[in-house]
Amino acid sequence: MATSLNNLSEYDPNQIPDSTEMAFGIVVAEWNPEITNSLLKACCETLTKHGTDPAAIKVVRVPGTFELPKACEWMADAEWEDPEKGFFTPNAVIAIGCVITGETKHDEYISHAVSEGIMNLNLAYDIPFIFGVLTPRNQEQALDRAGGKHGNKGVEAAIAAIKMVALAKSMNVFFNPNEFDEWLGEQSTEELTGSTDFEFDED
């Protein structure tokens, strides 16, 4: 649905999962800071509104929108520590940027490359990557979608991230090999195989 027919900040809070146990990485483009800072602020406020601990939100900045996919990849593999609450790894990564149409086709190349890059990350990783990038025709349209009359895409990106993490958890998508190794070491041969007898074929 077109943004002009739908407010980006409107949603039913009763339909949003609790995000208390979720951690998020956010990568923000510095280009068009008036827009991206507004998107970031709304995104973080929405995450914490639904239960996310501020310590579980990691924000990094990149020069421009084109750099988002690579930094998102790095973020997906990142770990950060809070002195009081321990270590966090992201359950989802949110990319925030703004590409405004210019006099050349530069914006088209950037938008296509970034959207494809984020899509490829979604296919390569088990965690979701959220496309929180505006692609307006002019500054006015950008402002309208960064807290103006059409809401704030930062809110939409946060809600999408929470919903996708909740869906992944419900489908047991997230898998920690370290936890599996610990569990495996605690199991006896009989518990794992149903038998204490092993037979090996000799070559």
> Which residue has better confidence, 2 or 179?
2
**CATH value at residue 95:** 3.40.50.960
For 70-79, the pLDDT digits (tens) are 999 999 999 9
Residue 195 lies in a domain: no
Model confidence over 61-99: pLDDT tens digits? 999 999 999 999 999 999 999 999 999 999 999 999 999
Q: Is residue 156 in some structural domain?
A: yes
Task: Strand 129-134: give its sheet, edge to edge.
Answer: 57-62, 24-29, 92-98, 129-134
Q: Is 194 inside any structural domain?
A: no
DSSP 17: P
Angle between helices 106-124 and 68-76 (to 10 degrees): 20
Q: Is residue 185 part of a domain?
A: yes
Residue 95 to residue 111: CA distance in whole angstroms? 13
Question: How many domains does the chain contain in total?
Answer: 1
The span from the CA of 201 to the CA of 184, in Å, is: 24
Q: Which of 50, 106, 112, 150 is catalytic?
A: 106
Instruction: Calculate Rg over the CA atoms of the chain.
Output: 21
What's the chain's average pLDDT?
A: 88
Give me the pLDDT at residue 60, please. Answer: 98
187 — pLDDT class (breaks 50, 70, 90)? low
Closest CA to 29 of 101, 114, 108, 103: 114
Domain membership flag for residue 201: no
Q: Catalytic site residue 112? A: no
Average the pLDDT over 25-35 and give the result: 97
Residues 109-135 have pLDDT tens digits of 999 999 999 999 999 999 999 999 999
What's the rounded Cα separation, in Å, for the pair 2 and 8?
A: 10
Domain containing 184 equals 8-189
Measured distance CA(90)–CA(24) in Å, rounded? 5
